[in-house]
Amino acid sequence: MCCVDETCALFACQEECGNNCAAGPLCGNKRIQRREWKKLQVFDAGLKGRGLMVGEECKKGDFICEYVGVAVKRRYLDGLFARYKSERMLYIMALDGDIYLDARHRGGIARYINHSCEPNCAVHRWKVRGIIRAGVFALREILEGEELSFDYQWDRKRGRAATKCYCGSDKCR
């Protein structure tokens, strides 16, 4: 497998290779394009609502899935927050600069990844065919059946200061 480390200039810049990659079908830097997701399962996570667990072992750095949703400009966020005010769960993530992803009604399975103050995943922005996309990657080894989590880094200026954290970590903020 080629193009899976910093020896590939595009990989090093968090950009997937295109169809003109010299590695051809051996190129490993098309994980988002090829939807090379891990096996995933939604489950009831109690007070956290739904959660997402991985159905196979993941190594540190593994691509798990893509976080998708409707692209929304920052100027429309207050309207979304007002509309979702009575709902307990929010599925809005900053993507790039002025653009956010709203996965509430048109999102993928990654929207069920819960917050943790000590997460096992992180979301990284990758450029795919000129478009910024959000990939979920393992921060450490993750065992089969383990719940996936990332740090939401809540924006306390947008009225979410009262959001209770249910992560259960010893490092809970």
**Does residue 24 sit in the same domain as residue 45?**
no
**Does residue 50 sit in the same domain as residue 78?**
yes
pLDDT, tens only, 5-62:
989 999 999 999 999 999 999 999 999 999 999 999 999 999 888 999 999 999 999 9
Tally the domains of the chain.
2
How many CB atoms lie under 10 A from the CB of residue 139? 17
Rounded to two decimals, what is the model's pTM? 0.85
Q: Where are the alpha helices (DSSP H) in the chain?
A: 9-12, 77-83
pLDDT at 162: 53
Mean pLDDT check: name the lowest of 106-110, 117-121, 149-153.
106-110
pLDDT, tens only, 46-62:
988 899 999 999 999 99
Establish if 68 belongs to a structural domain.
yes
Which residues form the domain of 10?
Answer: 1-30
Buried b or exposed e, range 33-53, using 16+ CB within 10 angstroms: beeebbebeeeebeebeebbb
Establish if 169 belongs to a structural domain.
no
Establish if 173 belongs to a structural domain.
no
Angle (CA) 108 122 102, round 5°: 35
**Does residue 79 sit in the same domain as residue 148?**
yes
Q: Residues 69, 101: contact at Cβ < 8 Å?
A: yes
Establish if 95 belongs to a structural domain.
yes
